[in-house]
Each structure stands twice: as C-alpha cells, then as structure tokens.
Amino acid sequence: MLNEYKIAAPVGTALDRFIAKNQTQFQYATGELSQLLRDIALAGKIINREINRAGLAGIEGSFGDEPNVQGEIQQKLDVIAEIRFIRALTRGGQTCAIISEEEEDIIYTGNNDAKYIVAIDPLDGSSNIDVNVSVGTIFSIYKRKTMIGSIPDRTDVLQPGTEQVVAGYILYGSSTVLVFATQYGVNGFTYEPSLGEYFLSHPNIQIKPEGNIYSINEGNAFEFSKSTLDYLESCKKKKMTARYIGSLVADFHRNLIKGGIYIYPETIKNPNGKLRLMYECNPIAYIAQKAGGIATDGKNSILEIIPHSIHQRSPFYVGSSHLVSDAMKSLS
C-alpha cells in the first residue's frame, strides 16, 4: 500500500481554518476581528499580484512629483496599495476608522457600528519595487474607545501600542508571507498563489535572545550620536554581520527568524527618528514583544509611548532581547 502521504501530502493549515480553530485568540470572539483579518489578507493577495507584475503593467515608478504628507514622492504602487486596503477595510464593514501613511488625517469608513480601528502602512519600502527588492504592508488593529454607533475620533486612533489587539505585516519577498501577532503569540503564513490561500508555515514564532546581525543605514553615520557610533563599533568588534535591505519589513523579518537587531536612531536630518510610531514602530514592536523580543525608542518601550499625532516619528531599536538590552546600556 503506497504511503498516502507520499502521493497526497496534506497542504497544511489554511489561514481561515487557523482563525476558526483559534477563535479565542481573537478577542470578543464574535467573528468581527476574524473577518477584519481576512479582509486584510485578501487585499494582500491583490497587492501581491500587482507587485509581481508591476514591470508588465506599467505601474512601476512614481505617481507624480507631488510629495505626500511624509514629504516623500509617492510611487504608483503606494497609491494602488492605499486604494486596495482602504476599499477592502471599508467594504469589509469591520473598521470604523483608518490612519494611513498615505493620508494626512483620519479616514472615516462610515461603518460607525464597527468595533475596530486600523493603522496601516499600505506599502512600506516602495522605493525598492523598481529594483525588485522586498517590500511590505504593516498594520495594527485596535478596538475603538468611543461608543459603537458614534462617529470615531482621535481618541480612537491615537492609542498606545499596548492597546493593539492584532499587529502584523505582509512581506512581498521571495515568497509572500503574512505574519501576525495576537496576545497569544506570533504565527506566519506563506501564500500559495496557485491555490490563492495562505498556509501556516511559521507556527508560534519566537525570536532568539541573541543574534549575529545588526541592521542600520551606516550611510547616516556622520549624523549618529557618539553612543550610537560606540554601539556600532562594539558590534564590529563582536564580528557581527551587517545586513540592511532598506525595507523595514524585510529587515525585521530576517531578524525575527534568525535573531538580530534593527536600528533607526535619531539623526540630524530626523531628530525624532525617521520611522512612524503608529503604523511602523508599534505593529513591529508588538510582534517583536509577543515573539520574546524587545522594542524601544532608545530609552523607553515603544508600546508605552502615548501618541500625540498620527504621523509622529520615533527612534527605533527592535529585535533580540539581549541585543536590544545591550544597545540600551550603551546608549544610557
């Protein structure tokens, strides 16, 4: 009798089945949060398709020469990703308000009976697309503070990272991987385009306390503080490996899997750091913490920062607990 596993190996746990089997992970377990996660996963499938054919569909390059709210020139795929995610979240009906890297102010979906808020960077690292380097979507999900049925306001969207109920990213890389954290842990799902499904590929991810990789743009070295330079020297003396892709999701995912530290410190050009708290630092910090890592702004836990504006920036140190702790010691 031929071994059935030889001729028809199981495909693994699909995202929908994982969500159904782990309803208790999705707070309040009435299905809305699960549906919201499915809405994000669907938009990710669509963006994955756009990215993989960008060179053929004439959607590479910049969208125009007007800088966005960040002062950066939008790429065509930034705009496409923004449209796709806002549309998916609005039509999905589970989100009452969204804050996005691409929009100056709150996006009101009109779903005032919905329970959830989403903070999103629809396509982070998009300047890498034209050179075929990995990019990613980063998202946080919060429970609204205002009453169901009312119009959401700033108290809903400006919550500290500790209030996140789900945080995740989609990495459009050599394969497309959806990684998300709930209070119960971090799981990764690899997208199988031929089936149009995400399958559990990285169950219960834990980041190693140690690591041999440091990720920082050393092109900014002349703008670094002395303590940052001293820490980098210590990394070199320990013969650590430098790896910097210039796409936060890709740099973080590598360190999550292999161990390491990612640093975007304050510089002369960006005295409060370059990365945005609400839709870059907080979601990545939540994932890092739930995987056993640490994320700080150089002094305090990123997740404890009380936000005052949608696009505020923060210095960012994230990764293996021992590496980040050592970096904090050298900065103090």
Chain contacts with ligand P6P (rule: CB under 6 A): 124-125, 217, 246-248, 251, 274-275
Query: At closest approach, how far in Å is the CB of 24 from ligand P6P?
Result: 33
Q: Which is nearer to ligand P6P, 136 or 259 (by Cβ)?
A: 136
**Separation between Cα atoms, residue 140 and residue 133, nearest integer Å:** 24
Q: What is the DSSP letter of 40?
A: H
Region of 12 (left: φ > 0; alpha: ψ -120 to 50; beta: rest) is left
Listed as own residue / partner, the contacts of 266-272 with beta carbons closer than 8 Å and 24 or more positions apart are: 266/225, 266/298, 266/315, 267/220, 267/223, 267/224, 268/223, 269/220, 269/223, 270/313, 272/312, 272/313, 272/314, 272/315
Q: Alpha carbon of 69 to those of 74, 138, 277: distances in Å?
A: 10, 18, 15
**Separation between Cα atoms, residue 174 and residue 47, nearest integer Å:** 15
Contacts of 332 (CB under 8 A, 6+ apart): 299
Nearest to 288 by CA among 309, 242, 257, 265: 257
Q: Which is nearer to ligand P6P, 115 or 313 (by Cβ)?
A: 313
Residues 243 and 254 sit within 8 Å (Cβ to Cβ): yes
Q: Which is nearer to ligand P6P, 207 or 248 (by Cβ)?
A: 248
Query: At closest approach, how far in Å is the CB of 302 from ligand P6P?
Result: 15
Q: Which is nearer to ligand P6P, 157 or 275 (by Cβ)?
A: 275
Query: At closest approach, how far in Å is the CB of 122 from ligand P6P?
Result: 12
Query: At closest approach, how far in Å is the CB of 109 from ligand P6P?
Result: 25
Helix (H, G, I), strand (E, B) or coil at 215: strand
Q: Which is nearer to ligand P6P, 159 or 247 (by Cβ)?
A: 247
Query: At closest approach, how far in Å is the CB of 58 from ligand P6P?
Result: 23
Q: Which is nearer to ligand P6P, 201 or 217 (by Cβ)?
A: 217
Q: Which is nearer to ligand P6P, 247 or 282 (by Cβ)?
A: 247
Residues 224 and 266 sit within 8 Å (Cβ to Cβ): no
Query: At closest approach, how far in Å is the CB of 275 from ligand P6P?
Result: 6
Query: At closest approach, how far in Å is the CB of 169 from ligand P6P?
Result: 11
